[in-house]
Each structure stands twice: as C-alpha cells, then as structure tokens.
Structure 1
Amino acid sequence: MKNCLACGHAQEEGRFCGKCGTPFENAALEQAATMNSIKDEQQSQYAKTVQGTTQNNEQIELIKKQSKLYFNYFLEQLKMPSANFNVDATWKNSITSMIIFVVLTALAVFALIKTFFSGGLGFFESFGPSFIQVFFYMSLFITLLIAISVFAIFLTSKLFSESLSLTNVISKIGGYYTLPIVIMVISILLGLLKSFTYSIIMIYIGVTLTIGFIPIFVMIKLLSNKSKTIDSFYGFIFYLIVTSVLSWIIFSFIIDSAIGEYLNFLL
C-alpha cells in the first residue's frame, strides 16, 4: 500500500497518485527536503541559544571578575587610603566608588524623609516627596558638588602645582571614598533600626568628608608635593574661592528647583 505524501490518498500500486497525480518519489523527496529544512532550522535555533547562553555566561563571569577586583581595591583603600595616591590606573574604581556613594546617600536621605512624613502621622504621608524626586535631586546635588571639587582641584593644579588630567584628579579623590561609603551603609542600617538621630549624624559625617575634608586633603597634598612659582598658600585660597562660588551657585539652583517643584506638587 502506497500513501501519497501530498494529499494522503492510499493505493496499491502505481508511480503516480490516482487522486492528485503527484509522483510518489517526488512527494517523498519533498517531504525529506521539508524535514531537512525543519531540522536545519532547529539546529540553527539551538546554536543561537547555545551562543546566547555562552555570551550570557561570559558576561556574568566578567561581572564577577570585575566585582572581585573592585572589592579587593575597596578593602585595600579602606586599610590604606593614601597607598595609591600617585597611581594613575585606579580612576575607574574611583568613579565606581563615587557612584556607589551618591546612590547610598540618596537612599539614606530618602529613608529619613519618608520616616519623617509617615512616622506616626499617616495624614502627612501623602504630602511627602516621592522616591524619584528625592533620589533625583539628592543624586544630582551630590554629583554636582563632587564635580565641583574635581574641577577646582584640576584647575588649581594647572595653575599652582603639577599639571594633572581629570582622570588623575578623579583617581586621587575617589581613592578616599571607601570610608564615606562605609559610613553611609551604617547610616542606612541605623535608619532601618529607627535610630534616626545617629543616622542623620552619619549622613552629615559622610557628606562632610566627601565634599569638604577629602578634597581639601588632596589639594594640600598636591600643593605640598610640588608648587610652581606662585606660593602654594595662594593656590589653596584660589581653590577655596572656586569651590565656594560654584557650590553656592549649584546649591541655590537645586534648592530653588526643589522648592518650586514641591510647591507645585502641593498646589
């Protein structure tokens, strides 16, 4: 019994289907070709899946490797912050530390603000700023202050000390961010434990270190290592003036924008 693979008609003998006229051999070849095409497509899809899985595994391994390298860098800098002061190859890790500090600071401030508006006074909870508002403004504010410190040190070094690139300055400043990161983590933990007074103190210490003491310490080290014809004292005064003026401008802009948006939210 022969079955036509084109229409399914069954007959005892003959080379052609008595119903549709399709040659039995051609139908078989067509089916074989179709099966081969399906098989090739399945193999291609499998190969793409395996390749995608391999790429994902490689990316995961790369992330693990980079995380391990940063963690080792973090521990080293926490033990000896000034160890890599004259090393220029750590600026990527320094940027990572800066980003982590900005994120942790924004989270810590949001947790405190949220608690202030909702702690025992549910009526006022709906008037509190949203997470996006707090995170955006705090991240922007801290990032701009860090950028001001980097720019002020970069400009002062060009005029009064050794000529440094922006990556050099970032590397030198960011190497000291490990301690502020730890302080911000402690602040968040204290906030979760409802120890809000100590949490605020930790935030104040962390921000003061990052925006105030660390840049000043780096600037003093640079001016003491090498100074041009102009006395380093005037270089330090120049740095303070640039930092103060730019910080005042940024602070005024952020405060005005935040207050204006919050008033619009209330109205």
Structure 2
Amino acid sequence: MNKCPKCNHEQDSGKFCELCGTTMASDVPAGDQVKQETAASVASNVPIQQSNIDVKTALKDFGAYFMRLLKNPSEALSSNENLFLNGLINIAIYVIALAIGLYLLINSVSKAAMGFGSMLGSDMNVTVPFFAIVFRVIFITLLFVAIAWVSTLAMSKLGKSTVTSKELIAQFGGLLTPFIAINILGILAGLAGSIPTTLTLMSLSLFFVTFMLPVILVSEKVKNTSNQKVYLSLGSSALAMFISYIIIRSFVFGILEDLDRLTSFL
C-alpha cells in the first residue's frame, strides 16, 4: 500500500496520487531501503576495485618482464605471441625515451648557443617547442624501428622461417630492453646538460636498433631452416641501410633544414 505524502491518501498501485496527483511515497521500510542503497553502492564499487587490482598486477608483471630481459636479453629470442603486448609497450617506451632525450639535447644546444650569444652582447631568449620536436622525433624513430622490423621479417621469411609477425614483434620489442636503459641514461645526461654524452648514447642506441638487431634476430630465426644464415643476417642489415637511405633522402633532410632554420634564430 502506497501513501500520498501530501494528502495521506492510500492506494494499492500507481506512481501518482489518485486525488491530488502528487508522486506517491514507496512503502519499502527505511531499513530495507538503506540496505538496498548500500548493496547498490558496493556493487558499483566492485568493478572499480577490480580494475585497480588488474592495473597493479599488469604493472608488476611488466616490471618483472622488463627486469628479466634487462639482466638477460637473450630470453627475448624465445618470446612467443603471448608477449606481443609487452613487445609493443617496449617499442613505445623506447621511441618516447629517445624522443625526450633528443629534445633535451636540442634544448641544451640552444641554451649553450644563448649563453655564447650573451657573452657577445646579444640578448636572445628562444624557447624550443617541446611537442613539435618530440612528436617529430617519435615519428622518425618509429620509421627506423619499422625499417628494422620489416628487414628482419623479410629476410626471415626468405630463409623459410616460420616466425609470425606477432612473435617477431614480441622478440624485437624484448631485445629493445637494454637500449631503453641506454635511452634513459641519455635522458639523465640531457637533464645534466651533457651534450656529447647525450648525443653519443642516443646515436648508438638508434644505430644498433636499426642495423644490428635485425642481424641478431635473423641469425636466430633461420639457423635451423637455411644454410645461408650469414648472408641472410647481413642482408637484413643491408636492407635496413638501403631503406633508411631512401627515407633519409626523402624526409629527414627536410626536417634537418627545419631544425637548421630554428637554430639560425639562436
């Protein structure tokens, strides 16, 4: 039985009072209503709590994965498709870390140039655009990583390897672990304002990832399927160099010209 809160009229059903049209009050006991609201609140919080637990577990698992490969990168050569996502995450971390390191390098160069200009009596105050530089370097670095991966896959398939694309990404990303550590060192050197150290670490990191990792991976993938392991391994590096040359001529020179125009104002 529902009771109207305005005129106290009682009726069996209906959301509105038959006499005055006021919304009818529910006859659910207050204690039961509190229990229902509490149960609903608890139920709504369960997915959030479960989500937090899942995120913490995922971060813990990835941290263990990263430290394991940092201690022994060779384990990445046996990675399967189950570690595909970890490989992608490693690639993303590598690319972002390299981009930030190069930004810090450019920023350090600009500050050094401004300091030199102030010594000559020139008042310069130029801010290096963070997002413009970082996004551009991310794009270029992804190109080189893609070149290395495509060269590896092409020569592996030429050597009749049965490796899948996902498996190769898992293994390639796993092998990036020590180079991520190098990029992090480059970031620290950039924050410290050490231009030569930052430049050396970042250059070596990108060079080895683009031209040396394909050799390691192809050598491992075709060792049981082809007797031309050496040529196929070296061929992957040569192919990466050839594609990189085309990319550099087509795109990177234009970007370097933009950076040159940027530094001309310093």
| Paired residue secondary structure (2:77) | coil
Map 1:228-247 to 2 at 5 A.
228=226, 231-247=228-244
Matched, 1:76 2:68: yes
Check whether the contact 2:148–2:213 (CA below 8 A) recurs between aligned residues: no
| Paired residue secondary structure (2:74) | coil
How far residue 135 of structure 1 moved from its aligned partner, in angstroms, is: 1.1
Counterpart residue identity of residue 137, structure 1: R
Distance (Å, rounded) in 1 between the aligned partners of 2:35 and 2:174:
51
Judging changes above 3 Å, is the alpha-carbon distance between structure 1 residues 256 and 52 closer, same or farther for their aligned structure 2 residues?
A: farther
Matched, 1:33 2:24: yes
Check whether the contact 2:77–2:220 (CA below 8 A) recurs between aligned residues: no
Q: Percent identity?
A: 18
Check whether the contact 2:147–2:240 (CA below 8 A) recurs between aligned residues: yes
Check whether the contact 1:161–1:226 (CA below 8 A) recurs between aligned residues: no
Counterpart residue identity of residue 60, structure 1: N
Q: Which residue of 1 aligns with 2:14?
A: none
Matched, 1:63 2:47: no
Match of 2:77 among 77, 85, 99: 85
Q: Which residue of 2 aligns with 1:103?
A: 96
Two-structure CA RMSD over aligned residues (Å): 3.6
| Paired residue secondary structure (2:46) | helix
Match of 2:250 among 249, 253, 260: 253
Q: Which residue of 2 aligns with 1:205?
A: 204
Question: Over alpha carbons, which structure has the higher Rg?
Answer: 1
Distance (Å, rounded) in 1 between the aligned partners of 2:113 and 2:41:
53
TM-score (norm 2): 0.75
Q: Which residue of 2 aligns with 1:9?
A: none
Distance (Å, rounded) in 1 between the aligned partners of 2:224 and 2:172:
17
How far residue 262 of structure 1 moved from its aligned partner, in angstroms, is: 5.8
Q: Which residue of 1 aligns with 2:114?
A: 121
Q: Which residue of 2 aligns with 1:187?
A: 186
Check whether the contact 1:82–1:176 (CA below 8 A) recurs between aligned residues: yes
TM-score (norm 1): 0.75
Check whether the contact 2:95–2:141 (CA below 8 A) recurs between aligned residues: yes
User: Which 10-residue stretch deviates more, 183-192 or 96-105?
Assistant: 183-192
Q: Which runs of 5+ in 1 are unaligned?
A: 7-22
Distance (Å, rounded) in 2 between the aligned partners of 1:261 and 1:120:
17
How far residue 259 of structure 1 moved from its aligned partner, in angstroms, is: 4.8
Check whether the contact 2:152–2:214 (CA below 8 A) recurs between aligned residues: yes
Judging changes above 3 Å, is the alpha-carbon distance between structure 1 residues 152 and 132 closer, same or farther for their aligned structure 2 residues?
A: same
Distance (Å, rounded) in 1 between the aligned partners of 2:96 and 2:27:
55
Counterpart residue identity of residue 251, structure 1: I
Count, aligned residues: 244
Q: Which residue of 2 aligns with 1:10?
A: none
| Paired residue secondary structure (1:33) | coil
Q: Which residue of 2 aligns with 1:150?
A: 149
How far residue 249 of structure 1 moved from its aligned partner, in angstroms, is: 2.4
Distance (Å, rounded) in 1 between the aligned partners of 2:234 and 2:180:
29
